[in-house]
C-alpha cells in the first residue's frame, strides 16, 4: 500500500511546478495550462484524502473542481481567441494597453 504522504508530496510537487510555470511563461495559453496543472495537483490530494479517510466527499469536491475547470477553459479560451483577434498576439507582455 502506498502511504498517503507520497500522494501529498507528488501533489505538492505538481502544484509547485504549476506555480513556477505561472510566473515564468509569457504565452497566455501556457499560463492557462499551468493553472490546469495546479488544479489537478489539488485534485490528486483531494482524491488521496478521500481514499484514505474512506469518505467520498473528497471525490465530490474533485467533481466540482472539474466542472469549474471546464467552465474556466471554455470562457478562457474564448477570451484568448478574442484577444488574439484584436492584438494578433498571445504574449501577455504585449497586452499592456491599460498601462499606457
Among 42, 77, 96, 98, binds other proteins (CB under 8 A): 77
- Residue 71, Cβ density class (10 Å: 0-12 exposed, 13-18 middle, ≥19 buried): exposed
Least Cβ distance, residue 55 to other proteins (angstroms): 6
Backbone angles phi, psi at 55, to 5 degrees: -135, 130
10 or 95: CB nearest other proteins: 10
Least Cβ distance, residue 65 to other proteins (angstroms): 10
Q: What angle do CA 71, 99, 73 make, to 5 degrees?
A: 10
Residue with cell 502544484: 15
Least Cβ distance, residue 94 to other proteins (angstroms): 10
The set of cell numbers assigned to 12 is: 505538492
Considering only residues 44 to 63 of the shown chain, the ones binding other proteins according to CB under 8 A are 44, 47-48, 50-57, 59-60, 62-63
Amino acid at each position: 500500500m502506498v502511504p498517503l504522504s507520497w500522494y501529498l508530496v507528488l501533489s505538492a510537487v505538481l502544484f509547485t511546478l504549476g506555480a513556477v510555470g505561472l510566473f515564468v511563461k509569457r504565452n497566455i495559453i501556457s499560463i492557462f495550462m499551468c493553472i490546469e496543472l495546479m488544479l489537478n495537483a489539488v485534485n490528486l490530494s483531494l482524491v488521496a484524502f478521500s481514499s484514505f479517510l474512506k469518505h467520498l466527499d473528497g471525490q465530490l469536491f474533485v467533481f466540482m473542481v472539474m466542472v469549474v475547470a471546464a467552465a474556466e477553459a471554455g470562457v478562457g479560451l474564448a477570451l484568448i481567441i478574442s484577444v488574439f483577434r484584436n492584438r494578433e498576439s498571445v504574449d501577455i507582455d504585449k497586452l499592456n494597453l491599460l498601462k499606457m
